[in-house]
Structure 1
Amino acid sequence: MKLKITLLLFAASGALAAPAMAEDEARRDSDSAADTADTQPATVAAKPPAAEIFSTGMAKGRDRLDSATSTSALKGDDIQRFGPRPLGEVLRTMAGLRVATGIGEGNNNYTVRGLPLAAGGSKYMQFQEDGLPVLEFGDLFNVATDVYLRNDFTVSAIETIRGGSASTFASNSPGGIVNIISRTGEQEGGRAQVSSGLDFDEKRIDFDYGAKLGENTRIYVGGFYRHGEGPRDIGFTGVRGGQIKANITRTFDGGFVRAYVKLLDDRSPTFAPYFVNITGTNEDPQFRNFAGFDLRTDSTLSPFLGPVITLDRNNQPVALPISTGQSAKSRSIGFEAQFELGDWTITEKMRYAVNGGDFSRMFPSRANTVSGFAASQGGVGATAAYASGPLSGQVIAPGSLINGNGLASLYFVSFVQAKSLDNFTNDLRASRVWDLSSGKLTTTAGLYLATQELDTTWLHTAMNVDAAGGGQTAQVDIRSAAGQPQTLNGYFAFGRESSLFRRIFDVDYRVLAPYGSVNFHVGKLAIGGSLRYDSGRVRGQLFGADLGGGRPGLTSFDFNRDGAINPAEARTAFLPLDRPAPVNYDYGYLSYSGGVNYRVAEAFSVFARYSKGARANADKILFTPVVDPLTGGVANGDREDAVTQIEGGFKLRKGGITVNGTAFHVEAEDKNVLNGAANATNRVYKAEGVELEGNFTRGVFNLMLAATYTQAKITEDRLNAALTGKEPRHQPDWVFVAVPQVDFGKVAAGANIVTITGSYAQDSNLLRMPGFTTVGAYVEVQPAENLQLTLSAQNLFNTLGIFEVNQASVPANGIGFARAANGRTVQASLRLAF
């Protein structure tokens, strides 16, 4: 393995005729450009390569050739050329990241360098907006960080750092950081854009405007509003809402102050694994759409389902709209300042955010032919009939191929109410450059303070549905052969089949983290190190029937008020509100990172780095035996998961060519026991690989390329020894990205091409998910000076790309569930600049 990595790096360093992907220079505020003066090399040629300044996850902004880190960036203007896209689709095109989309606007899965896709979201990577975390923990179940982030005109750049000093310049980020940088009005004027889907239903308006209020003061405001069905056929308005962001900046000698606000109120559908026909062998499976249901464009969502009937947080009956989807709401206010105090540069960042919303989604339990499914719930001879939709009340004939596929299934509907995910974050740091006789010494000291509330309620219902595409899914009733109802109006249970996941989280997290760094720069050599100590205080209480200890969780409730208890009503989950379980523990861990960078020549540098960080475990250990039910305490070994990284590589930037290569070795822990003892995870992982990226520019042509090679293993499974030595699920060997573009001024065109190779569906390493390639493209025309027309498409060739499969092996009946990339979506946009 090490020999293979070495050969790959050696080959990449000489392969300038086909350079790997592009690190575009991220747009940096003029306010922070002065930060980099002390980081330039001691000896500079007459015409050195233009500096590419990067600051995310570092003490101070610096040229990437002088930094012992692996970083990437995208400009906001380049992002927008490919049309309005969810953030996850944008990040799929960035080097080194592994992104599994298809879920919706948010709650997608993100990881890096072979770190496991733990249980949704981004456990090991922190998502930031303007240098501060959006949520303190990136993998809160049902409400991951990207739920509160949107891609629009307000995005100036996206910066990512993988490994390196990310673990010491942010909390809970041992794998890396994704930082969404907002525009701040440096460019005067505005833009207004209207967009419309051509083969799907979504209308959208984007705008932004920047202006000077005086010689040293400027403002910026931007946002969007959208409305429509969304990228899949669901039969109702699934997308509605938008956001507004605004800031005001005052500059002065040596610094600036800035205040900003953000208002987000946006609804979008959540998609889940859906029906797919799986045949063939585990090594060479065939995935095909069932008749009447296209995995790329259909959904079980429809206007004929619901509402979500269940008992609420107070055990009172409630009917909630299934159309809720991801209804994210966030209001935040922030402050940022930088100024000189003697020889010190002081930077202060603060933000308070009120986050909440409702989040509904459907996910499958089992499926079969109508006759087989009816028998599973009502016994031999059971029958089925439609319970909703245009055929409501009609009996389904045994053996009928309804919808062309003859399938029926049980889906659980999760409805999570986020009463509060409010957080407050403050990051204060001071830096100074000391001029020594032999070089320059940069020192930084900082203090990070954060609070994160977690006040959510998990509610569920269970319904039988058919497999109808086109937003026509209907509920199905089951009766026994004797005619006795087994369901109520298509509902199998008012909860799940058991009391599992009927929960209230009411927990507060407090984080205090002092940190510091030193960097010594002499001639071509820079040596630096940093450390951070995170201490956390966790207090709160939990309510839930699945806490253990014999707590009851199922009851009977007469929802239809007919004086009788239907079998579905007898499967009603409730919350034991008189039996809270405490949460009361503290944690603390040390993170450190050290690196060396050598500027071999003006255009070429090499680096090496060793880092160790950790991620504090949040909701993933709650509702499990890890938390003592009497005291709320957590054993030391379960409070955080450590990540160790060794990396080294090179960077070349000369004559319109950029090539970067990094070899890495990662070891990580993952204690993830969300689904109870039967599905607990307590493992150690190891991953090795190479990240290659580059950029080639000649005249009107630009080509960005990236390739990431990863070999990962479960080196120890402490709960299931049979999985030790297996490959983690959903881990491809290769991820390739290519972004070719041509720009003739009045006309421009480009594409983004993302390829992932095959991987295992589950950790048992039986069923292989096939690799696939998706292509996005755009054509941009300027018929007038301030007018621009853009035609853009995602998944241009309508590829069936599988991200997730529920089954561990080919099912005997060929009926499986899989989550796939959305099918082809084409949109047109008209933009006016003023």
Structure 2
Amino acid sequence: MKSTSKLAIALGSVSLFAFAPMAWAQNQTAASAPAANDAPEKEVEVVIVTGTSRSRVALDTPLAVTQLNAQALSRLSSGGQADILNSVPTIKADGGGGEVAANIFVKGLPSGGQYQFTPLMYDGITVLSSFGLNSSAYDVYYRNDLGVQRLEFVRGGVSNLFGPGSVAGLINYISKKGGDSYQGVAQVEVAEEGRVRGDFAVSGPISDNLFYAVSGFYRSDKGPLDTNLDTVGGQIRGNLDYRFGDGSGSITLSGQYIDDQAQFYLPIPLNGATRERLRGNDGQIVNSVQNDFGPSLGFKTPTGNFVSEINDGVATTGGLVALSFDKSFGASGWAANGRIKYSDYKHKFGLFSDGDGVINVPETLQSFLTNRGLGSTANANFTFVGGGTVAANALLFANRFTDRVRPAEDFTTEVNLTKGFVTGAMDHSVTLGAFYGNASAGDYNVTTTYLAELNNRPRLVNLVVTSGAAQTIVSRNGLLNAGAGYVNNRHEAERYAGYFADQIKIGEKFNLDIGFRVEKLTGDISRERTSVVVTDSNTANLSTALRDVIWGNGAFTKGKVSRTEWAGAIGGLYKATDRVSLYANFSRGYFFPELRSVSFNSLFQPSTFKAEIINQGEIGLKMNMKRVSLTLAGLATSLDNRRQVLFVNDGAGGFTEKVNLVGTESYAVEGTIDYKITSNLRFSGNMTLQSNQYSAFDSNTALIGKDVERQPGFLYNAGLYFDDGKWDASLFTNFTGSNYTSSSNTILLDEWNIVNLDLGYTMPIGNQSARFSLNVYNLTDEDAVTEGSPRQDNNQAANGAFFVGRPVLPRRIMARVTYSF
């Protein structure tokens, strides 16, 4: 299922040629260079503010840094966070599920996806202070818009000890703030499959010391896959920034409100030999097996009728309010900064699955009966809900969906006291800080199994089987299994952390960073137990699966866990010249296990809550010349005691959260280059060559030494960017190397290239301007598989007639008009 175009190959060849003198490579756009896709006339020194007590240019920072400016973010974000983060070295981002819930994989670290190792922050404020209270990703709560000024990603070193902390990396989007003049931008975007989106961002002064910035969006979208389910909604956010008249700091009040629903796409049945899309019973290519039949699949429960809200997709309503400040105290060298946030979200995640948990692939009428011991088609009556007989040669696909209700509430605060002073030849910048987070989230899940045809927007299928004089209703209104699974959990995590760091400048040549963090997490766990209940004893001839449901019985298992851990980091940088720096850093960090991974024994006691330890080492080179900037680094990472949580089939049609205790080792060479070919034309790219293996695997020691699943050995991004102030053009590609679908390494997915094109013309209108642009995602319409069936894990068959996998999203053309005023 691979169609690598000549255009993609050409771009890849250019990037390989450019990187050859570097002997492979390490970071991304602007890791001491101007941000990617930004071609300024003057040389720009990138200043980093994330996790540092004083701003520093990237060339003076002894750690890996990536920065993307607003222009780059606009051209990269055709679909969501994944399009942006996929351009960052160290990160592999899968966006095949649509706009939200991107699967984010950090180099060498085992993950079921999403943001398990990389907190997502806006203006230094983490979206949620603890991950793993449920399995929803950070990006379901917060969206990017035109009010974002830039992205900073920092990895390793003392910067990652501050705030929420993660030595694997911090993703921080920095918002625009108001200035002395009024500024604004408005954008309208239209695309194929009924997409219309409007964005705006305005800012300016209210008084001499008070400034505002407001931004937001609203969009409606039928695509990019035709599911008969809509993506619709929007967000508004902003800030008020009061700046002290003496220039000593500011106080900023910020807020966000979101009311949005987005569809999420799951793996679909593919051809087992070629992994190409199948043709459905109607002869059309099958791009999705979703439809709007959720409300018709309700059933009785012990507490009343259950009606599915699966049509709402990933729906979030709520917001946050935050207050941040920074204040310096004159010549004393003392300063303070901090932030406090409260957020409350009502969130649902409607998840269509990738099979029924029993057979998991399309079946003929007879094979459906045979696989379930239901006899032959001579004694079976297959009909469509709404009328009509199912053709004898039709393919069926039994599937599930899960209504997941996941409200989340979070209170976070961080306070830092900093002091700058000089001792001899050493210029110190010391930070003493504290972080507190209290997050709670519900996780209420109901799973429903249904029978449908294999088609786009499939119809539901009824089935009645006759045996002698007896009849059995196997599928009623398409419903196969009422209440196939039930979960009602609530988790709360309270975190206390303190940290110390000193960023030292020694003369004109050396920088030394040292830091230490200690943290305690306390977790409260509440889980409702379940029982099988007969809910319909009046309707004759119902199958057991339609008569009985698995439902909560009102009894709860509760427990408390806690753990204290420490992290430390040291980094050094030597400035060989004003343009060339050599650096190295080492860090010892930790991740607290996700609370949803905690199990209970027969006495209802929680399992051992042991921290996961990550060690990282990096050595590298940064160069920022007049026309070319580059980085080159080697990295080594180890992770021990990882409680890997996988959402997999339980073998009986339901789901279970399977926990493996694993360890991994990873080695990589990464590099970036940014080359100013002419004053208007720039080449930019990055490359990662990595090797990742399991070093421990408690449930199956035979997997030790296997490659970490979904981690490609080779990644690169490369692009050409032209901008003369009037015309602009960007042509860039993202290459993902072959990778295994699971830890058994039995199924290898082919590599793929996603090529994107962005063309624009800017027309001045007095003191304002309008840009007319065309953006094409997946220009070559690459047809590749990003993942297999996560629910099947190591049980997925490698050589069957069918293969369940998630293809990359198809080509999509967007037109935009952006008016700046």
Letter of the 1:229 partner, please give it.
Answer: K
| Cα deviation 1:630-676 (Å, max 9, x = unaligned) | 465442xx332111101110100010311012211000132124558
For residue 408 of structure 1, what is the aligned residue in structure 2? Answer: 396
SS at match of 2:279: coil
Gaps of 5+ in 2: 1-14, 36-41, 651-655
- AA in 1 matched with 2:256: K
In structure 1, what is the equivalent of residue 369 of structure 2? 374
Report the TM-score, using the length of structure 1 for normalisation: 0.87
- Aligned counterparts of 1:18 and 1:453: Cα–Cα separation in 2: 41
Gap change, CA 1:218 and 1:673, over 3 Å in 2:
closer
- 1:129 and 1:255, CA in 2 relative to 1: closer, same or farther beyond 3 A? same
Q: 1:592 aligns with which of 563, 568, 577?
A: 568
Alpha-carbon distance between aligned partners in 2 of 1:17 and 1:301, rounded to the nearest angstrom: 43
Q: How does 1:183-194 map to 2 (within 5 A)?
A: 183-186=176-179, 188-194=182-188
Alignment of 1:509-588 (within 5 A): 509-523=493-507, 524-545=509-530, 553-558=531-536, 562=539, 565-577=542-554, 579-588=555-564
- Deviation string for 1:361-399 (max 9, x for gaps)? 1112312223212332352214352443xxx3322233x
- Whether contact under 8 Å (1:377, 1:478) holds in the other structure is no
Counting only pairs closer than 5 Å after superposition, residues 703-782 of structure 1 correspond to structure 2 as 703-782=683-762
State yes or no: 1:274 paired with 2:277: no
The letter of the residue matching 2:812 is T
Partner AA of 2:311 in structure 1: S
Q: Judging changes above 3 Å, is the alpha-carbon distance between structure 1 residues 216 and 544 closer, same or farther for their aligned structure 2 residues?
A: same
2:674 to 674, 682, 695: 695
Q: 1:216 to 1:536 in 2, by over 3 A?
A: same
SS at match of 1:576: strand
Q: Determine the structure 1 residue equivalent to 2:643.
A: 671
By how many angstroms is 1:121 displaced? 1.4
Equivalent residue, structure 1, for 2:433 = 446
The 1-side partners of 2:405 and 2:643 are apart by 25
Contact 2:460 2:478 in 1 (8 A): yes
Question: Would you say the 8 A contact 1:775–1:796 is kept in 2?
Answer: yes
In the alignment, residue 353 of structure 1 is paired with which amino acid? S
Residues 1:644 and 2:627 are matched in the alignment: no
1:240 to 232, 240, 249: 232
Task: Say whether the 8 Å CA contact 1:26–1:157 is kept in structure 2.
Answer: no
CA distance 1:113–1:16, change in 2 (3 Å): closer
SS of residue matched to 2:119:
strand
Aligned residue for 1:208, secondary structure, equals strand
In the TM superposition, what is the alpha-carbon distance from 1:804 to its structure 2 partner? Answer: 0.7
Is 1:322 matched with 2:330? no
Q: Secondary structure at the residue paired with 2:164? A: coil
C-alpha contact (below 8 Å) 1:25/1:75 kept by paired residues: no
What is the 5 A alignment of 1:119-268?
119-171=112-164, 173-186=166-179, 188-197=182-191, 199-236=192-229, 238-252=230-244, 253-268=247-262
Question: Per-residue deviation at 1:295?
Answer: 12
Give the direction of change, closer, same or farther, for the CA distance of 1:757–1:353 in structure 2 (3 Å limit). same
Asked if the contact 2:163/2:414 (under 8 Å) is kept, the reply is: no
1:64 is matched with which residue: 44, 55, 58?
58
**Cα shift readout 1:264-298 (whole Å, capped 9, x = no counterpart):** 1111101101011121xxxxxx3111113999982
Query: Partners in 1 of 2:418 and 2:158 — Cα distance?
Result: 16
Alignment correspondent of 2:582: 606
Deviation at residue 733 of structure 1 after TM alignment: 0.7
Task: Describe the SS at the equivalent of 2:288.
Answer: coil
The match for 2:336 is 346
CA distance in 1, matches of 2:208, 2:85: 37
For 1:371 and 1:201, how far apart are their aligned partners in 2? Answer: 39
Q: Residues 334 and 419 of structure 2 are in contact (CA less than 8 Å); yes or no, is this contact kept in structure 1?
A: yes
Contact 1:119–1:139 under 8 Å retained in 2: no
Say which of 277, 284, 298 aligns to 2:287: 298
Task: Determine if contact 1:688/1:711 at 8 Å carries over to the other structure.
Answer: yes
For residues 813 and 370 of structure 1, the distance between their equivalents in structure 2, rounded to whole angstroms, comes to 18
Look up the equivalent residue of 2:64 and give its one-letter code. S
Distance 1:575 1:771 in 2: 44
Matched residues in 2 for 1:604 and 1:69: separation? 14
How much has 1:619 moved relative to structure 2?
A: 3.3
| CA drift at 1:568 | 3.1
CA contact (8 A) 1:512 1:534 kept: yes
Write the distance in 2 (CA, Å) between the matches of 1:829 and 1:610: 45
Task: Call closer, same or farther: CA 1:25–1:782 in 2, change over 3 Å.
Answer: farther
Distance (whole Å) between structure 1 residues aligned to residue 483 and residue 401 of structure 2: 8
Asked whether the 8 Å contact 1:373–1:409 carries over to 2, the reply is no
Write the deviation string for residues 451-502 of structure 1: whole angstroms up to 9, x where unpaired.
Answer: 0012221111111122212xx2111223325353212211111122xx4xx2
Q: Please give the per-residue CA displacement for 1:217-262, whole angstroms capped at 9, x wherever unaligned.
A: 21111100011313110124x1111000111111122111110110
Deviations 1:788-829 (A, max 9, x none): 211111111111121111265655541121012210111111
Letter paired with 1:309 = G
SS of the equivalent of 2:780 reads coil
Q: Measure, in 2, the Cα distance between the counterparts of 1:810 and 1:503.
A: 28
- Give the residue type in structure 2 aligned to 1:473: P
Equivalent position amino acid for 1:664 in 2 = L
Counterpart contact for 2:158–2:501, Cα < 8 Å: no
Secondary structure of the 1:372 match is helix
2:322 alignment partner, one of 331, 334, 338: 334
3-state SS in 2 of match to 1:89:
helix
Q: Deviations over 1:414-446 (max 9, x none)?
A: 11111x311011110011111122221221100
Aligned: 1:97 with 2:97: no
Q: With structure 2 as the length reference, what TM-score do the two structures score?
A: 0.88
For the 8 Å contact 2:337–2:415, the answer to whether it is kept is yes
The answer to whether 1:789 aligns with 2:779 is: no
* Aligned-pair CA distance for 1:113: 2.0
1:17 and 1:444 mapped to 2: Cα distance? Answer: 36
**Corresponding position: 1:832 with 2:819:** yes
Instruction: State the distance in 2 between where 1:149 and 1:481 align.
Output: 52
Distance (whole Å) between structure 1 residues aligned to residue 33 and residue 150 of structure 2: 6
Letter of the 2:374 counterpart = G
Over aligned residue pairs, what C-alpha RMSD do you find?
2.8
CA contact (8 A) 2:25 2:687 kept: no
* Contact 2:32–2:622 (Cα < 8 Å) also in 1: no
Cα deviation per residue 1:137-175 (whole Å; 9 max; x = unaligned)?
345544111112212201111111123335412435231
* Distance (Å, rounded) in 1 between the aligned partners of 2:150 and 2:605: 42
Contact 2:309 2:403 in 1 (8 A): no
Q: d(CA) in 1 for partners of 2:564 and 2:106?
A: 24
CA distance in 1, matches of 2:381, 2:697: 44
Q: Using a 3 Å threshold, how does the CA distance of structure 1 residues 103 and 229 change in structure 2: closer, same or farther?
A: same
Instruction: Evaluate the alpha carbon distance shift between residue 62 and residue 410 of structure 1 in structure 2; reply closer, same or farther with a 3 A threshold.
Output: same
CA distance in 2, matches of 1:763, 1:119: 11
**CA distance in structure 1 between the partners assigned to 2:213 and 2:26 by the alignment:** 37
Separation in 2, partners of 1:377, 1:254: 73
- How much has 1:109 moved relative to structure 2? 1.3
Aligned residue pair count: 768
8 Å contact kept, 1:26–1:159: no
> Contact 2:575–2:581 at 8 Å: present in 1 too?
yes
How far 1:591 sits from its partner (Å)?
0.7
Aligned equivalents of 1:728, 1:121: Cα separation in 2: 16
Cα distance in 1 for residues equivalent to 2:255 and 2:675? 38
Amino acid in the other structure paired with 2:565: Y
Give the unaligned 5+ runs of structure 1: 1-7, 29-47, 280-285, 401-405, 546-552
SS at 2:311's partner residue?
Answer: helix
Per the TM alignment, residue 744 of structure 1 is displaced from its structure 2 partner at its CA by 2.0
